[in-house]
Chains A and B, each alone.
Chain A
Amino acid sequence: MIRTLHRWPGLAAPILVTVLALSGAALSVFPAAERLTAPPPVAGQSVADLAARVAASHPGLEEIRRSPSGRITAWWFVDGKPGSAVVDPATGADVGLADPNGLERWLTNLHRSLFLGDAGRLVMAAGAAAMLVLALSGAALVARRTGGWRRWFAPLRGPLPGRLHVEIARVAVFGLALSGATGLWMTASTFDLLPDGALRPAEPAGVSGEMTFPLERMATLREVPVDALRKLSFPYAGDAEDVFTLATDSGTGLIDQGTGELLSWAGMTGWQQVSETIYMLHTEQGAAVLGLILGLIALSVPVMGATGVVIWAKGRHGRPHLRDNAPAGRAQTVILVGSEGGSTWGFAATLAGALREVGQAVHVAPMSTFDPAHHPSAERFLILAATYGEGEAPASAKGFLDRLERLPEAPPAPLAVLGFGGRSFPAFCAFAATVEATARAKGWPSLLPMGMVDRQSSQDFARWGRALGSALDLPLELAHQPARPEAQGLTLISRRDYGAEVQVPTAILRFALPKATPWARLTGGGFVQFQAGDLLGVLPEGSTLPRFYSLASGSRDGFVEIVVRKLPGGLCSGQLVALQPGDTVQAFLRRNPDFHAGRGRTPLILIGAGTGIGPLAGFIRANARRRPVHLVFGMRHRDSDFLYQKELAAWQAEGRLGQLSTAVSRGARPHYVQDALRAESAEVAEAIRNGAKVMVCGGREMAQGVWRALEEILVPMGLTPAMLKAGGRYVEDVY
């Protein structure tokens, strides 16, 4: 609901709101400039003193005004010609032109009406309303994302556009809400929708008829300090019936020009005072510093608009449209989705489609809106839940556990939970497990034991579908093809072959970086920006299921490189290893931020065997800052599958690679990476003591061997690999 409220104004009015914000930002400079250039005020000066000084040097004086910035302007009429100037309150002398600034006037008219009169004012008011709605709904979304109002400034994770959007929003949102709300108030005031008109002082019953009372002795004017002055209008020259009109920050009065006595007075109404304060807050007249701050904040609007549209576009891509969604109240099967990036929605759509095929009324909804009272016809609940971070709720499941805990009792319709995640992460399906445990503790009947899907595996999903089908006694076939980015053709530019002699034909394949579309450049999609450790999804001919390879290069290297071993009977690896320069494959990029080397200066211990060296070589190639790196590499035979042999020597000479340890598994004394690790245990322990991060890439068996070896090495330090893993200092890319 709040998201919808945030989305539509954001998509409908970004240009309008941007014009409003940028013109407002430009206007915010003027009050500050006026404050800086205005002659200094005279402490304790009364209006009588000011008026006397200005009148002495300006015959025919008609009016003195004080702007909220403290600038004093005089207007006069002499010898049939009007004149005006900014005056120095200390001397009454002219110091500058009083004409309104043409640029400021132009900007003001753009800002409030797009030069279109009343229609333009209404359009701009709609813009201000959009900004206000965006700011308020945005604030609620920030609170939801960070986990509550008290965690407003909690650190953020996730893709850059979203992070940037929220980082800026949590500072800017207050200023934008203030500007939007005060702008709307001012428009309402302009259209006379508010009872904030000024009261006029009553017409005086009579005047003295005298015209020559000295200004500096007028009692009323002596009592009013210049700070409180708005405007003092003089009587017409020679008109004995006319009076002085004095406007101050508390009201308006009429003064007899012959006696200086106050003839009548009208104070400000409460509405008027509120309107004045709002005018001050919006235009920053008299609040120059606040004005500059609000102006700076307004500059964030274009950035927020652009990142917001990008987030929306990405989210729309990831989250399929829920076609044929049954009404919540009539659904027999309710599917609740906890998704972070959107891929779980795809699985939910497949599941819902399969259930509809067999005649079920299915309602799909985010877990965060869960309320069993909405589903009186529900015969079962199915929860598909991903995990965020270390077992936390993903975006669309925020608040689910609280809602479940608050229920007086669990729904009678049974529940099945399916978790999504990656086995290589410590918190594999941890959130789903928490949901399952909470539901059990609450006494929610179970339909199926909890299922798990590893790395969006279609096979895992289909298996769970069969189990669900037999539990429901329905023929259920779940054929899910994960939504993926559009593939692009990558052209091979070079290949190097290894390992044929030891029966592991392996190739380092280097592809040209494909040309980026402007949209990809703008959104950072496609192959615009990637790092070693990210994944290349390759679509082999004759299959729609992609295979993933760890990238051995980053976008800065200017090419896309992977290391592929031909597996016996492997469709994709067979096609890749057969590629010749000039051939192309269909591929796309998938980010894998958990397997990045990161920016720190702490040592890196890179451990890999066989093709697992790919991303590790990429980290070393990118190590321009000479961070200490220790590579432990396992191969079969030094003369056959020593991948990157020449490069490693060169990188070592350049200082990108500190230490290289190799383990050769073929020969008289087979030696594996874990053996090499043990042999170097002193260096490894020392590096870990210095904060080293361990990165492991290769087969599952190797990874288990490395884990055990590290367990031994860490014992004297009172550490375990699990503790390093929990602290993000032990990461694996295992296949």
Chain B
Amino acid sequence: MKSLLATLALTTALTLPGLAMARPVTLTTTLNNYGGDGAYLALYVTNASGAYVGSLWLAGGKSKYYEHLSDWYAATGGDLAQINGITGASVGAGRTLEITLDLADALFDAGYTLHIDAAVEDMRDSPNEIAVPLTAAGAGSPVPGRRYIASFTYE
């Protein structure tokens, strides 16, 4: 069980107007036994119109492979400043990534969507594995991914 406890501020999101209050949120991502090497995961948020707002976490050590997290890469242009201080190791098949960070209250029930892109060496890239609207009501209910992610929960 991989457990990462980090208190982080959403760098880009913090610049949005009206953000005053924040609460600790735990994001739990459990992977399938897809029979491959460790997966690269990008967790990021878009707004109601689908525009990129900011990154929450990037699991995977080698920046040269980030282009395989194709939606995140397209949105950020692979800008490493977007994930400065919020990167970690790739996540093995069947393992769980758990991160805790402070998310602004204003991100909930306001049309924001949390996305996860996934990529595994020698297997198909899987952008937008998870696309879950951030709502107070949706907290705690697991969402299945498309290919590599068994379930994702935020609470």
Contact = CB atoms under 8 A, between A and B. Distances in A.
Interface of A: 62-63, 75, 77, 80, 82, 84, 99-100, 102, 105, 109, 117-118, 189-192, 197-198, 200, 203, 233, 236
Contact of B37 (A63, A77, A109, A200): A109
Interface in B121-136: 122-125, 128
B147 A82 contact: yes
A579 to B, nearest CB: 70
Interface in B109-124: 122-124
A190 B147 contact: no
Given A75-B124, A100-B36, A82 B62 contact: no
Nearest to A200: B67
A267 B135 CA distance: 43
A226 B22 CA distance: 53
Nearest to B36: A100
13 contacts: A62-B124, A75-B124, A77-B146, A99-B35, A100-B35, A105-B37, A109-B37, A118-B61, A192-B63, A197-B67, A200-B67, A203-B74, A236-B128
Contacts of A191: 62
Contacts, number: 37
Interface string B31-73: 0000111000000000000000000000001111001000000
Given A63-B124, A100-B122, A100-B123, A192 B64 contact: yes
Nearest to A194: B64
Given A77-B147, A109-B37, A233-B125, 8 more contacts: A82-B124, A82-B147, A105-B36, A105-B37, A192-B62, A197-B64, A197-B67, A236-B128
B93 to A, nearest CB: 11
B60 to A, nearest CB: 12
A227 B64 CA distance: 26
Contact of B67 (A75, A117, A198, A236): A198
B35 A102 contact: yes
Given A77-B146, A105-B37, A109-B37, A84 B124 contact: yes
Contacts of A190: 62, 64
A236 B128 CA distance: 10
Question: What 8 A-B pairs have minimum CB-CB distances, sorted nearest first?
Answer: A75-B124, A82-B147, A192-B64, A100-B122, A99-B35, A63-B124, A100-B36, A197-B64
A125 to B, nearest CB: 14
Contacts of A105: 36-37
Nearest to B77: A200
B47 to A, nearest CB: 17
Nearest to B65: A190
A713 to B, nearest CB: 78
A84 B124 CA distance: 9
A192 B124 CA distance: 22
B5 to A, nearest CB: 22
A82 B64 contact: no
Nearest to A82: B147
A619 B64 CA distance: 69
A243 to B, nearest CB: 11
Contacts of B147: 77, 82
Contacts of A200: 67
Contacts of B61: 117-118
Nearest to B148: A82
A698 to B, nearest CB: 74
A100 B37 CA distance: 10
Contacts of A189: 64
Contacts of A84: 124
Contacts of B89: 117
Contacts of A192: 62-64
Contacts of B144: 80
B29 to A, nearest CB: 17
Contacts of B74: 203
A99 B33 CA distance: 12
Nearest to B144: A80
Contacts of B62: 190-192
Interface centre among B67, B89, B124, B144, by most chain A C-beta atoms within 10 angstroms, is B124
A192 B61 CA distance: 11
A236 B63 CA distance: 25
Contacts of B123: 100
Contacts of A80: 144, 146
A359 to B, nearest CB: 64
Nearest to A198: B67
A233 B128 CA distance: 14
